[in-house]
Amino acid sequence: EIVLTQSPSTLSLSPGERATLSCRATQGVSSSYLAWYQQKPGQAPRLLIYGASSWATGIPDRFNGSGSGTDFTLTISRLEPEDFAVYYCQQYGSSPLTFGGGTKVEIK
Amino acid sequence: QVQLVESGGGVVQPGRSLRLSCAASGFTFRTYGMHWVRQAPGKGLEWVAVISYDGSVKYYADPLKGRFTISRDNSKNTLYLQMNSLRAEDTAVYHCAKDRGDGDYNYYGMDVWGQGTTVTVSS
């Protein structure tokens, strides 16, 4: 099983700042089959990024995914008020599919 | 519009069974793989199971093998999760989710999610 470790667990930032979220895998994620999701309280998760760096439909370009192998990053270039949420990475290249523990981006 | 609506959750005693349903609309259900994902109160996301577009291939999270069964009825545009021998640690919101890819046996991320149905296992 591929274990995904996200860091930091909490990121305290102000609107307009840049957020950098990390996701590290215990073994290589095949074909960069890695996704990022955003979840707000009381809501279902929303797909942001798939294939490590491709935007899902309707996702603004301030969200950028990068990385390969075992190290992946989600960058939010300038935080908007609606971006404060919990973010999860997920690998879907091998079974069992697994999620990281999440990074909460909170308002400083 | 594309929509997934879960149902079947509730309060159940330990050791009992429950079947969840997920009604799909707004897309060609029979061509997409489908997932169940759960979230315990205050915790992160946990992938539960996936089923291929035609129902022939199924994968489960290791701890759930043998207790949970995923299935689908493409004639009814409905996904199911049969949960047996329920435990307190199965208490969670259960979401169904559509896979982004269609027509094969690989998986590509989950692009549509339902709001979830709550399962509480308690005596």
When comparing pLDDT for A95 and B15, which is higher? B15
Q: Which of B106 and A1 is assigned the larger pLDDT?
A: A1
Could you tell me the pLDDT band of residue B117, with boundaries at 50, 70 and 90?
Answer: very high
CA dist A72 → A106, B47, B76 (Å): 21, 20, 39
Answer whether A45 sits within 8 Å of B108, measured CB to CB. Answer: no
The mean pLDDT of A57-86, rounded to a whole number, is 96
A39 contact partners, CB below 8 Å, separation of at least 6: A45, A46, A85, A86, A87, A88, A102, B45
> Range with the lowest mean pLDDT among A5-9, A89-93, B72-76, B98-102?
B98-102
What per-residue confidence (pLDDT) applies to B91?
Answer: 98
Phi-psi region of A52 (alpha: psi -120 to 50; beta: other; left: phi over 0): left
Which member of B62, B109, B116 has the closest CB to residue A44?
B116
Query: A78 to chain B, minimum CA–CA distance in Å?
Result: 24
What's the token pair of residue B40? 């315990």
pLDDT at B104 (0 to 100):
79
Percent of chain B with pLDDT over 70: 100
* A98 contact residues in B (CB cutoff 8 A): 47
Contact A37/B at CB under 8 A: yes
- Report the amino acid identity of residue B85: S
The identity of residue B8, as a single letter, is G
Tell me which residue has tokens 């590290």: A24
pLDDT at A31 over 80: no
Is residue B103 scored above 90 in pLDDT? no
For residue A86, give how far its alpha carbon lies from the nearest alpha carbon of chain B (Å): 9
**Paired tokens of B35:** 């997932």
Mark which residues 17-36 of A lie under 8 Å from B by CB. 33, 35
Per-residue confidence (pLDDT) for residue B30, from 0 to 100: 96
Of A47, A57, A95, the CB nearest to B110: A47
* Cβ contact, residue pair A46, B113, below 8 Å: yes
Residue B51 has pLDDT above 90, yes or no: yes
Going by C-alpha positions, the residue among A96, A102, A81, A36 that lies closest to residue B61 is: A96
Write down the pLDDT at residue B105: 82
Is the Cβ–Cβ distance between B22 and B79 less than 8 Å? Answer: yes
Per-residue model confidence as pLDDT tens digits over B4-18: 999 999 999 999 999
| Residue whose C-alpha is closest to residue A88's, from B29, B97, B121 | B97
Cα separation, B44 vs A100, whole angstroms:
8
Distance from CA of A5 to the nearest CA of B (A): 12
Q: What is the dihedral of CA A36, B93, B55, B29, to 10 degrees?
A: -70
Spatial separation of the C-alpha atoms in residues A79 and B122, rounded to whole Å: 41
Question: How big, in percent rounded to 5, are the helix, strand and coil portions of chain A?
Answer: 5, 50, 45
DSSP letter (8 states) at residue B65? B
pLDDT tens-digit map of B57-91: 999 999 998 899 999 999 999 999 999 999 999 99
| Chain B contact set for A90 (CB, 8 A) | 45, 47, 109-110
Give the residue-averaged pLDDT of A52-81. 96
Nearest CB to A44; choose among B60, B108, B113: B113
Looking at residue A76, its pLDDT comes to 97
Q: Is the peptide bond before B63 cis (omega within 30 degrees of 0)?
A: no
Q: Does A104 touch chain B (CB under 8 A)?
A: no
pLDDT of residue B64: 92
